[in-house]
């Protein structure tokens, strides 16, 4: 089968690799019908997540079940499914507390041996372990493009918005209008804010944010913290959502909220450690939340919200390309020439 593979820092190639097959009874084999390139794929692309040459990429995908192991109960061949970007077991102590994102048996697709040695979704086929607790059925009538982001960026945007503790009438600041920031902008509206202010430096992304109900702030033209203060009666935002992971954007997310506010960080950190303003956090009584999205908790309700027409995540797709064009697609996404690219095998 064809698959997008890591070939070194900044190098992706689509090559022929062996078709994967089911080895354990809890697994499902999917024929991938659509994959996407995610911002966190760039951590592999730039070598921040160490991968070996030839390892498969991609963790955002939908497909049709081709075969299931003997222990799989919820799915059968022919079912259309969306898959979480990581697997969770559903039965460990943390899954049973609802923290699927902290499952002790977790593994992540598309990042090679270092994150659990699963296959990748930018491929023609992929095996999903722990299938019963890692996949959801796509409702009839819903397209692949509508469903695909439920497995990663839409769930992450919702997780970010929910943990920002947005109350009706609040001012929310979203730092970063990449795909996750745009999903957070969309999901924040579900909680009734008066304004969602969106900070970025790329005009095309800010335009999309505006179409999704956000108020754009171009950080290359105005100071984001001052602009957010001005647009919130001088106080600062009630809460902020950090959707980049860079130290500077985390800092903006902290500085732009009012006393007693909440910061919800979902950007994958670019650094392992750094300065943290402990005294400032204490002085302003701020709440700081962060983490990898609890995808499995949100897949079903988000699919229901899409089916009801209340969320339109496919609105952010800027480029539709073939899996064969993955090399060029990665270059474009890395250069911010594309907001969101989907790949058809």
**Strand intervals (E) in 135-231:** 135-137, 171-175, 195-200, 215-218
Which is nearer to Zn ion, 89 or 184 (by Cβ)? 89
- For the bound state, the minimum distance from the C-beta of residue 96 to Zn ion, rounded and expressed in Å, comes to 8
Residue 124 as a binder of Zn ion (CB under 5 A): the answer is: no
Residue 95 as a binder of Zn ion (CB under 5 A): the answer is: yes
Size of the site for Zn ion (CB under 5 A): 8
- For the bound state, the minimum distance from the C-beta of residue 85 to Zn ion, rounded and expressed in Å, comes to 5
- For the bound state, the minimum distance from the C-beta of residue 43 to Zn ion, rounded and expressed in Å, comes to 9
Residue 307 as a binder of Zn ion (CB under 5 A): the answer is: no
Ramachandran area for residue 289 (φ above 0: left; ψ -120 to 50: alpha; else beta): beta
Q: What is 259-283 written as a DSSP string?
A: EEEEEEE-SPPSSS-----HHHHHH
The one segment of 88-96, 206-214, 252-260, 317-325 that binds Zn ion by CB under 5 A: 88-96
Residue 89 as a binder of Zn ion (CB under 5 A): the answer is: yes
**Which residues are within 8 A (CB) of 127 and not within 5 positions of it... i.e. 6 or more apart?**
20, 21, 22, 23, 27, 28, 29, 30, 118, 119
DSSP state of 124: S
Residue 103 as a binder of Zn ion (CB under 5 A): the answer is: yes
Whole-angstrom distance, CA of residue 213 vs CA of residue 237: 16
The one segment of 39-47, 204-212, 270-278, 331-339 that binds Zn ion by CB under 5 A: 39-47
Burial profile 169-208: b = 16 or more Cβ within 10 angstroms, e = fewer: ebbbbbbbbbbbbbbbbbbbbebebebbbbbbebeebbeb
Residue 40 as a binder of Zn ion (CB under 5 A): the answer is: yes
Closest C-alpha among 170, 158, 179, 302 to residue 231? 170
The one segment of 97-105, 186-194, 200-208, 225-233 that binds Zn ion by CB under 5 A: 97-105
How far apart, in Å, are the Cα atoms of 73 and each of 63, 65, 88, 312? 18, 13, 16, 30
Residue 268 as a binder of Zn ion (CB under 5 A): the answer is: no
- For the bound state, the minimum distance from the C-beta of residue 165 to Zn ion, rounded and expressed in Å, comes to 24
Which is nearer to Zn ion, 63 or 261 (by Cβ)? 63
Start-to-end CA span in the chain (Å): 10
- For the bound state, the minimum distance from the C-beta of residue 110 to Zn ion, rounded and expressed in Å, comes to 9
Structure tokens at 288: 């700081």
Instruction: By CB under 5 A, name the one of 38, 166, 198, 257 that touches Zn ion.
Output: 38
Instruction: By CB under 5 A, name the one of 144, 152, 162, 170 that touches Zn ion.
Output: 152
Residue 55 as a binder of Zn ion (CB under 5 A): the answer is: no
Q: Catalog residues that contact Zn ion under the rule CB under 5 A.
A: 38, 40, 88-89, 92, 95, 103, 152
């Amino acid at each position: 089968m064809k698959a997008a593979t890591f070939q070194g820092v900044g190098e992706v190639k689509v090559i022929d690799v062996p078709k994967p097959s089911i080895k354990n009874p809890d697994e499902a084999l999917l024929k991938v019908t659509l994959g996407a390139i995610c911002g966190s794929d760039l951590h592999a692309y730039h070598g921040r997540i160490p991968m070996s040459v030839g390892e498969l990429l991609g963790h955002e995908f939908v497909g049709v079940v081709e075969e299931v192991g003997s222990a799989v109960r919820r799915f059968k061949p022919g079912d259309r499914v969306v898959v979480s970007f990581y697997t969770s077991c559903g039965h460990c102590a943390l899954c049973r507390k609802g923290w699927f994102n902290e499952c002790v048996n977790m593994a992540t697709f598309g990042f090679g041996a270092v994150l659990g040695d699963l296959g990748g979704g930018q491929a023609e086929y992929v095996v999903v372990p722990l299938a019963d607790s890692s996949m959801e059925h796509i409702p009839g009538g819903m397209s692949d493009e509508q469903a695909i982001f439920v497995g990663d960026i839409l769930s992450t945007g919702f997780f970010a918005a929910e943990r920002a503790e947005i109350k009706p009438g609040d001012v929310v600041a979203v730092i970063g209008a990449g795909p996750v920031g745009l999903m957070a902008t969309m999901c924040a509206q579900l909680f009734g804010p008066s304004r969602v202010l969106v900070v970025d430096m790329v005009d095309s992304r800010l335009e999309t944010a505006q179409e999704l109900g956000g108020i754009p702030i171009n950080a290359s033209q105005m100071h984001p913290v001052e602009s957010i203060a001005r647009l919130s009666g001088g106080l600062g935002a009630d809460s902020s959502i950090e959707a980049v992971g860079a130290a500077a954007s985390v800092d903006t997310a902290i500085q732009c909220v009012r006393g007693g506010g909440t910061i919800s960080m979902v950007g994958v950190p670019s650094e392992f450690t750094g300065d943290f303003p402990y005294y400032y956090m204490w002085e302003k009584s701020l709440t700081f939340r962060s983490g990898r999205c609890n995808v499995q908790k949100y897949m079903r309700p988000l699919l229901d919200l899409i089916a009801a027409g209340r969320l339109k995540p496919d609105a952010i797709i800027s480029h539709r390309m073939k899996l064969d064009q993955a090399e060029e697609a990665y270059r474009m996404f890395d250069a911010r020439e594309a907001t969101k690219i989907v790949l058809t095998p």
